[in-house]
Structure 1
């Protein structure tokens, strides 16, 4: 590789993907929280679910 060439970058790193699922979980949790009347509880549950999905998919991919 010449000095003028840029190194290849990986897109969609593991941390970003887990963060993606946490973000989706937060949004879903806010909706659930609004439905039950307690947005704080809904967001907390959504973050936990999103993190769980992200970690489970990471473990599944790594074997």
Structure 2
């Protein structure tokens, strides 16, 4: 595994954590924490997947 591959792998999942944090904040504000976490996770995973695929090209 090259150094470049290790750097790409190291940053994986960061957007998921941010999505969950933001989703939790919205869930608390809207008094529906479960929905907020679920939406935050989905949005964070989508952004993480999108940026990961963009880096492959």
Q: TM-score, normalised by structure 2?
A: 0.80
Structure 2 distance, partners of 1:21, 1:59, is 14
Looking at CA atoms only, which structure, 1 or 2, has the larger radius of gyration? 1
Structure 1 distance, partners of 2:50, 2:7, is 20
Deviations 1:6-60 (A, max 9, x none): xx7523416x52x211111000000011111101100000000000000000111
**2:56 aligned partner:** 62
Q: TM-score, normalised by structure 1?
A: 0.73
Higher helix share: 2
Unmatched tracts of structure 1, length 5 or more: 1-7
Aligned pair 1:48/2:48, yes or no?
A: no
Aligned pair 1:28/2:22, yes or no?
A: yes
Q: How many residues align?
A: 55
Unmatched tracts of structure 2, length 5 or more: none
